[in-house]
Amino acid sequence: MSTPIVFALDLVAISVLTFGLYFPRHRRRDLVAAFLGVNVGVLAVAAALASTTVGAGLGLGLFGVLSIIRLRSTELDQHEVAYYFAALALGLLGGLGVTPLWLTVVMMAVIVVAMYVGDHPRLFRRYRRHVMSLDRAFTDDQALHAHLTGLLGATVHEATIQRVDLVNDTTTVEVRYELPAPARRRARATPVGTVTTAPVELVGADR
Tens of pLDDT, residues 159-175: 999 999 999 999 999 99
Q: Is 66 found in the same domain as 37?
A: yes
In the listed set 72, 101, 118, which residue is the last one of a domain according to the structure? 118
Reported confidence tier of residue 207, pLDDT bands at 50, 70, 90: very low
What local confidence, expressed as pLDDT, does residue 64 receive? 62
Q: What is the pLDDT of residues 99-109, one digit of tens each?
A: 788 888 889 99
- Indicate the number of domains in the chain: 2
Q: What residues make up the domain containing 157? A: 127-178
Q: With 50 as the cut, is the pLDDT of residue 195 above it?
A: no
| Same domain membership, residue 111 and residue 9 | yes
Measure the CA–CA gap between 78 and 17, rounded to whole angstroms: 16
> For 12-69, how does the pLDDT look when each residue is reduced to its tens digit (9 = 90+)?
999 999 999 999 988 888 888 888 988 888 888 777 776 665 555 665 666 566 655 5
* Judgement on whether residues 110 and 151 belong to the same structural domain of the protein: no
Q: Across residues 190-197, what is the average pLDDT? A: 49
Task: Tell me: do 114 and 135 sit in the same domain.
Answer: no
Q: Say whether both 131 and 114 belong to one domain.
A: no
Cβ neighbours of 90 (radius 10 Å): 27
For residues 150 and 152, give the distance between their C-alpha atoms in angstroms, rounded to a whole number. 6
- Looking at the domain assignment, is residue 193 inside a domain? no
C-alpha 143/C-alpha 104 separation (Å) is 54
Do 140 and 111 have their domain in common?
A: no
| Spatial distance between the Cα atoms of 30 and 9, rounded to a whole number of angstroms | 24
CA distance 66 to 60: 10
Kind and range of the H or E element at 34? helix 29-50
- Note whether 173 and 162 are within 8 A (CB): yes
The answer to whether 59 and 92 are in contact (CB under 8 A) is yes
Instruction: Answer whether residue 189 is part of any domain.
Output: no
| 199 lies in some domain | no
37 and 70 housed in the same domain: yes
For the beta sheet containing 155-165, the strands, ordered from the edge strand earlier in sequence to the opposite edge, are 127-134, 170-178, 155-165
> Distances from the Cα of 111 to the Cαs of 18, 64, 86, in angstroms?
13, 18, 7
CA distance 95 to 9: 11
What SS3 state is found at 197? coil
